[in-house]
A and B are shown apart, each in its own frame.
Chain A
Amino acid sequence: MNRISETLDSFGKAVLDNIEEMGRILLLFLSVLMWMARPPLKLRLIFKQMEFVGVKSIFVVVLTGTFTGMVMALQGYYGFKMFNAESLVGATVALGMTRELGPVLTALMVTARAGSAMAAELGTMRVTEQIDALSVMATNPVKHLIVPRVIAGVIMLPALTIVSDFMGILGGYFVGVPVLHINSGAFVSNITKMVDLGDIYNGLTKAAFFGLILSLVGCYKGFNTTGGAEGVGKATTEAVVLASVSILISDYFLTAIMF
C-alpha cells in the first residue's frame, strides 16, 4: 500500500513540476513579448543570432533535407511501383517535405545545434554571474539575451525550412529521375499539380512556431541554470529533450488544425 502511495506521490509531483515549468516558460514568453515591444530593438545582436541560428545551420539542413528527399523517393518508388504509379513519387516527396519533414527535421537539427548552444551559453553566463552583471549594469537580460535569440529562431527556421524543402525535392528528383528512371515531366508536373502554396505556407508557419519553441526552451533552461558545470550540462540536455518532444507533440496539433 505504501509503495503505491509513494509511486502516486512521485507521479503527482512530476506532473505538478511539469505544469509549473510550462507556466514559467509561458511567463518568460510574455516577458519576451513585453521587452520586444520596448524600443530600441538591438539589431546588431539580432543579426548576430540570425547568423548563428540560420547561416551556420545551412550545411546540416542541406544535408538532412537532401538525404530525406532521396530516401523518400526510394521508399515511395517501391510502394508506388506496385500500382504502376511511380510518377507520383515526386508529388509524395514534395508534399512530405513541405508539410512535415522539412519543418520538423529542420527544427530538430537546429534544436540540436543552436538550441543546445543557447542553453549552454546562457547557463555558463548564469553560473559565472555574467547575467547578474548585466542586471547590475541596468541592462535587462531578457531584452539583451533572450529577445534576439527568440526573434532569430522565429525568422530563421522558416528560412531554413525553405532550403530543406527545396533540397529534399531536389534529392528526390535526382534519385527518382536519373536513378529510378521515372519520367522527368511526370515527376515535376505531379508536384505542381498536387502541392499548392497553402502546403508550403502551413509548413513555414509550423517552422516559425518550432523556432519559437526551441529558442524559448533553450533560453529558459540556460537562464535558470544552477549548480556550476554539472548544472550547465544538465540544462543543455534538458533543453534539447524538452524542445524536441515539444516540437513533435505540437506538430501533431498544428497539423490537425491546419490540414
Chain B
Amino acid sequence: MIKLVDVHKSFGRQKVLDGINLEIEEGKTTVIIGGSGGGKSVLLKHIIGLLRPDSGQVLVDGVDIASLNDRDLNEIRKKFGMLFQEAALFDSMNVMENVAFPLREHTKKKETEIRQIVGERLKAVGLPGVEDKMPSELSGGMRKRVGLARAIALHPQIVLFDEPTTGLDPVMTEAINQLIIETQKSFDLTCVVISHDVQSIFTVGHRIAMLYKGEIIEYGTSEEIRGSSDPVLRQFLSGSLEGPINVL
C-alpha cells in the first residue's frame, strides 16, 4: 500500500532522511518512533506529499507520488486522512464546518446527508452534539478528537497521526490511544502513527519502526521491538541518558 524506497531529504546542509526504506502494511497500524527533531514529521509529510524527497520514491498503491503534479496528487490525497499534532482545526469555522469541510469540497452530498455524516463521525470519536462549538471552546483532547472526526469524514483508506498524544494528560492519552485502535478497526484503516510516547507505541502499534539519524534502524512487531538488542532502541525505550543517543 505505502512503500518508501531509498528516500533522502536534506534542508540546507542538514540531512534529515538518509535512505529510508519502509513498507507500511495494509490494514495495520504502524508506529514510527524516534527522538524529537529526528525527522519523524518530515517522514510523515513525505508519505502524504507535503514534502517531496531529494531522491528516492514514495509509492502509494504503486504510484510514485513524488513525481505527480498537483491535480494527480490531490486525487491520491483523497485516500488519506491526517490528524495533526495540534489538530489544525480551522479556527474561523465551527466543529460542524470543520468536519464537513472535506465532504463539501469533494462530494456532492446534500446538506442533510452531510449533517448526518458529521453527527456519526463525532459520535464515533465520542463527542456527539458539539457541532456548534468553535475550536477555541474545546480542550486539547477534544480538538484532537474533532481533528480525527475530520480526518475520517471521507472514509479514507489511510490515516496518518502526527504525535496524537503529545501534550495530553495520561487519562486522555489512553482515551486517544483507544480511539485510534477502535477507529482503525471499525473503519478498516491503514494507520501510520508517529510518536515518542513509549506507552502509546505498544498500545496502538501492530508494527513499529525506529527512525534514527535519518534511517530506519529497526522494524518489527511489538514483541520483536521489545526483545530487540539494538542499543539505540534499548536506550530510547528505557529513557536512559547512557547510550549511543547523545542529547546533552
Contact = CB atoms under 8 A, between A and B. Distances in A.
A155 B181 CA distance: 50
Nearest to A140: B70
Given A130-B91, A132-B50, A138 B86 contact: no
B90 A133 contact: yes
Contacts of B81: 136
Given A138-B78, A139-B74, A140-B70, 15 more contacts: A124-B91, A128-B88, A129-B84, A129-B86, A129-B88, A130-B88, A133-B82, A133-B90, A136-B80, A136-B81, A137-B77, A137-B102, A137-B105, A138-B77, A138-B105
B78 A135 contact: no
A138 B106 contact: yes
Interface in B89-133: 89-91, 101-102, 105-106
Contacts, number: 48
A145 B129 CA distance: 29
B106 A132 contact: no
A139 B105 contact: yes
Where chain B touches its partner, the secondary structure class is: mixed
A136 B77 contact: yes
B21 interface: no
Contacts of A124: 91
B48 A136 contact: yes
Contacts of B91: 124, 128, 130
Contacts of B48: 136
Chain B residues touching A, range: 20 to 34
A132 B90 CA distance: 11
A129 B90 CA distance: 10
A129 B160 CA distance: 14
Contacts of A129: 84-86, 88
Interface of A: 124-125, 128-130, 132-133, 135-140
A124 B85 CA distance: 15
Interface in B64-78: 70, 74-75, 77-78
Contacts of B82: 133, 136
Contacts of A137: 77, 101-102, 105-106, 150
Nearest to B84: A129
A111 B77 CA distance: 36
Contacts of B77: 135-138
Contacts of A130: 88-91
21 contacts: A125-B90, A128-B86, A128-B88, A130-B90, A130-B91, A132-B45, A132-B84, A132-B88, A133-B84, A135-B77, A136-B48, A136-B50, A136-B77, A136-B80, A136-B82, A137-B101, A137-B106, A138-B74, A138-B75, A138-B102, A139-B74
B193 to A, nearest CB: 16
B107 to A, nearest CB: 12
Contacts of B150: 137
Contact of B88 (A133, A138, A139, A140): A133
A135 B50 contact: yes
Nearest to A142: B70
A20 to B, nearest CB: 16
B49 to A, nearest CB: 8
Contacts of A140: 70, 74
A132 B83 CA distance: 11
Nearest to B92: A121
